[in-house]
Amino acid sequence: MVSHSRFRSWIRRSVKFEKLEDVSPAFDLVINCAGIGARELVQDIDLEPHRGQVAIVPKIDNLSCAIVCDDPPLMYAIPRASDCVFGGTNELSDNLDADPTTTARIIDECTRVLKIQNPLVLAERIGLRPFRKSGVCLERDCLPDGRTVIHNYGHGGSGFTLSWGCAQKVFELAEELPGQRR
């Protein structure tokens, strides 16, 4: 069992690798979970950025569960502990800037469905779903320097949902390596 504080001491934020071989040689196993970043990192041309924009609004009275409408226009309202997420969009784009017209459209649609007045917009958030045309990449490979890499990226709009199963599969692939069995 490894304590959380020990993991924390290994986590480095704001590091951008140009290639996987740049990972310190102190690690004999590299796990590539770069999301849309894998497009450049491993030159995977199958990856597409499916941009999503949401608006964060204050908690909505009497909204105790998420409401999702996948038919166009995409609409969802997801209550959280201290606020609510209104969405959303799904378009092929790399643009990480918030678009005020899109926010207004999201608010209009959510308030229409929920039959409420326009709430205050606390924040706008943009993310790029790492969609991979040929499906999730979850496989073991070898780096030019001989180290093993396990790729785990390309989960599109389902990365949270799939994360437990994919992490388990990564763990199994790592355990199959010679000398890795515990």
Ligand X SMILES: Cc1cc2nc3c(=O)[nH]c(=O)nc-3n(C[C@H](O)[C@H](O)[C@H](O)COP(=O)(O)OP(=O)(O)OC[C@H]3O[C@@H](n4cnc5c(N)ncnc54)[C@H](O)[C@@H]3O)c2cc1C
Which positions touch ligand X (CB under 6 A)?
15-17, 33-37, 41, 52, 54, 87-88, 127, 129-130, 153, 155-161
**CB nearer ligand X, residue 102 or residue 155:** 155
Q: Which residues pair with 40 in a beta bridge?
A: none
Smallest gap from residue 148 Cβ to ligand X (A): 18
- What are the tokens at 6? 């020990």
Do the Cβ atoms of 152 and 173 come closer than 8 Å? no
Smallest gap from residue 161 Cβ to ligand X (A): 4
**CB nearer ligand X, residue 79 or residue 157:** 157
**CB nearer ligand X, residue 122 or residue 181:** 122
- φ/ψ of residue 77, rounded to 5: -130, 115
CA of 21: how far to CAs of 32, 42, 167, 169, in Å?
11, 11, 22, 23
**CB nearer ligand X, residue 1 or residue 160:** 160
Smallest gap from residue 175 Cβ to ligand X (A): 21
Q: Which of 57, 58, 77, 53 is nearest to 67 (CA)?
A: 77
| CA gap 139, 38 in Å, rounded | 14
Smallest gap from residue 32 Cβ to ligand X (A): 9
